[in-house]
Structure 1
């Protein structure tokens, strides 16, 4: 029995080329059991006419399906579903089961209850997205990234693509980190002092799991990165909030076993810690015996002043664990970061990582290595700096024109403004109201420990187009009024 052409239809807005969509329709039909082995496919002319597309498109799709053993060609008799086509296993469909176990009570909800910055998944559908940390497709180097990815997927790099590195990392990417990234932060490191991670969040989790536990104290910035407080809580340690000032974390207020700090651009105020305070922080660590975890995110985005040296570069006692990431400088979906620390710490971190995942995917590591080695990364960062500088200037002017208050601006750059509304304003309610106006902002309460103030919010300019900034800020000002 032939498969009727009516079984095929093109979905408006579907991803992929027409040829890819035809392949997907056929493979899904076979795997779902709707198309059975031996059934005749519609003729290429008939299917093309039914779908309103070129016959050659259908012919090429059929040829591709023949090479994948989904179809067989019988010459003038046409194409048939292959007798050896892949088939999905057939299992009886069981009725949905109720939850007999209260897993939230069993786990204590200690992970799902952690504070998070609210960001809608469809943020890019809003005309005025002042959302932090998302990639801007107009700035990204699609062509060269694609070329690097194709090279990493080629036969010459087959081992890097398919091999299990066990607990090791791609030596080519580690070499690029040691030669390209770390030296510009003033950090001289050896291979045994570097571990690749699935982004900075994974790096921070590894560091916290190794260094903290019940009965230990972690000094955290307040306001500060919400994810760090969640990680600390999960270890059983106590998160001790330390109020930051215009220069970042004050060393004289610390009393902890481990201190988490974002010195390049404090999260979320954007304050850059001066060298004098960095030295004072290291002196305090030496005197009190605590370890410092330095999250050096956004150091590449210092476009107003020369970048300050990393805290790790000033460390002479081996007390600083350095965490970096490519999420903000390349794109967040890359999920590729790194830890730098003394060999003893990295050896333990490598063993811990192996308990959860052996290593980040090999082809991602190799693609990033090529992107760095061929100079594309530096060109991308330079393009982002220039764009951010222009956007920051336009946003600063719009904020001033509308009479909004900047709570933490930072003098080195970054990709956002830390804002303060009038007392009594709930920015979580404001954020919901602004969505109806096509505007997305980030309420600030999640950045504070405990029951913090509700009138702070963050405006990022990394994901919003330059011509949209002034109108978006004006809509925020009208909502506040």
Structure 2
């Protein structure tokens, strides 16, 4: 049997070289059974002519497929599907299944929640994406990241790539965090006081599971990080909220009997307020007097391009009451999912044991890649580039906001990557966001950051991390126009 070249076509959306795309097409055909054992592939000349590509590209693809045992070469006869090519197992046609399980009886807890900060999967296709937390590929250092990834895949780092760390972390990454990242926040920590996590959200979950449970009392900010509300809901603890104002969490508002207070003092989520030093000291004084702990989520501290960052709450803690959460996901890219916990050795020991039960450890080659990217200076260069771009974008955004009379409800005096906005009270920003999508504009409605049943509908967040400086004025103009039409 001969396989016709008409079965092959090029997909413009394929992310990879022409050679890789051709390899993928042949491998997929073999695995799916469309290309049976012994079938002859089109000659390199005919396939190249059909696809309009170089003949050497086809030859290199075939050669790689031979090396991987998908194809076999037979002298002058050409290339054929190998008799020992990988195949998917055949189980026959399974009868259609009908779900007869009463899941309401078997699901012991509901993990899905009612409020999310929704973002369309194709957000990059929108011309005015004022959305938070995504990577701007125009700023990211692709070349050096790729080089660090290749170094981590090398023979010298074979053990970092392949070995099970059990409950340990990459020594190089932990050392860099201890000697470079934490001192920038005024924090000193030993390796046994640091635990690598799958991002800040994973760190918050681990902390809540170790510190909370039935009969314990947790306190969090309102408005606040929506996922933290969900995380604390899983702890079975009594969860209370404390209000924030233009200077962040109010220490005197923390209710009596608290066991753990979760706070974002350097960059409150979502208002971007920064807690001043006197409030930080009062919070720690209350923690010492009433014997509660503080979990400090220190996200986005690197984006302090307006004024130097305020020292972390952990840096002025003299009693070991603060558990510090850091992350590389915001400053590198969110898909990385790498962060860390810093706390006293007894806490980290329990956190490490819990992590080992759940996921053992974050992938070793990811840890080693990040360790190289940090230690070779690429991370600091990236932060400087991002800070410069964000400062310019913020200036353009604030000028456009002022020109169109929009109201800023909260801005980070240090920098950051977003502004917390307030529309007129009669404007429902969920509805506003839907209307703006039709005009190519993405905003984030603010209701998800508040408590169910007490959610003001007129707040929204505008981020400038993923939108170009040139697109900001027109995007703000469209937002102002949509609000005016309400």
TM range (shorter): over 0.9
Task: Map 1:267-306; keep pairs closer than 5 Å.
Answer: 267-306=269-308
Counterpart position of 2:413: 411
Instruction: State which of 327, 332, 341 in structure 2 corresponds to 1:339.
Output: 341
In the alignment, the residues of structure 2 paired with residue 22 and residue 447 of structure 1 have an alpha-carbon distance, to the nearest angstrom, of 47
Q: Residue 133 of structure 2 corresponds to which residue in structure 1?
A: 133
- Could you say which residue in structure 2 is the equivalent of 1:229? 229
Distance in 1 between the 2:3 and 2:318 partners? 73
Runs of 4+ in 1 over 6 A off after TM superposition: none
CA contact (8 A) 1:218 1:239 kept: yes
Q: How many residue pairs were aligned?
A: 481
Q: 1:164 to 1:30 in 2, by over 3 A?
A: same
Aligned to 2:246: 246
Q: How big is the alpha-carbon RMSD for the aligned residues of Structure 1 and Structure 2? A: 1.1
Q: Distance in 1 between matches of 2:407 and 2:135?
A: 26
Shift of 1:6: 1.9
Deviation at residue 457 of structure 1 after TM alignment:
0.3
Q: Distance in 2 between matches of 1:362 and 1:418?
A: 37
- Any conservation in 2 of the 1:114–1:230 contact (CA below 8 Å)? no
CA distance in 2, matches of 1:251, 1:410: 19
Q: What TM-score results when the alignment is normalised by the length of structure 2? A: 0.97
Query: Closer, same or farther in 2 for the Cα pair 1:113/1:105, shift >3 Å?
Result: farther
Q: Is the 8 A contact 1:47 1:58 kept in 2?
A: yes
Displacement after TM superposition at 1:93 (Å): 2.8
| Structure 1 Cα separation of the partners of residues 62 and 365 of structure 2 | 30
1:469 aligned residue? 472
Q: CA deviation at 1:348?
A: 0.3
Q: How far 1:114 moved relative to its partner?
A: 4.6
C-alpha contact (below 8 Å) 1:110/1:234 kept by paired residues: no
Name whichever of 29-38 and 221-230 sits farther off.
Answer: 29-38
Unaligned runs of 5+ in 2: none
1:391 corresponds in structure 2 to: 393
Deviation at 1:96, TM superposition (A): 3.5
Corresponding position of 2:116: 116
Q: How far did 1:109 drift?
A: 6.1
Tell me the equivalent position of 1:372.
374
Of residues 255, 258, 261, the one that matches 1:259 is 261
Deviation at 1:216, TM superposition (A): 1.9
Alpha carbons of structure 1 residues 426 and 96: separation in structure 2 relative to 1, 3 Å: farther
CA deviation vs aligned residue, 1:33-62 (integer Å, no higher than 9, x gap): 111222211111111112121111100100
> Normalising by structure 1, what TM-score?
0.98
For 1:12-411, what aligned pairs fall within 5 Å after superposition?
12-103=12-103, 106-107=106-107, 110-255=110-255, 256-411=258-413
Q: Deviations over 1:138-159 (max 9, x none)?
A: 1101110010000001111111
Q: Distance in 2 between matches of 1:5 and 1:195?
A: 54
Contact 1:115–1:230 (CA under 8 A) maintained in structure 2: no
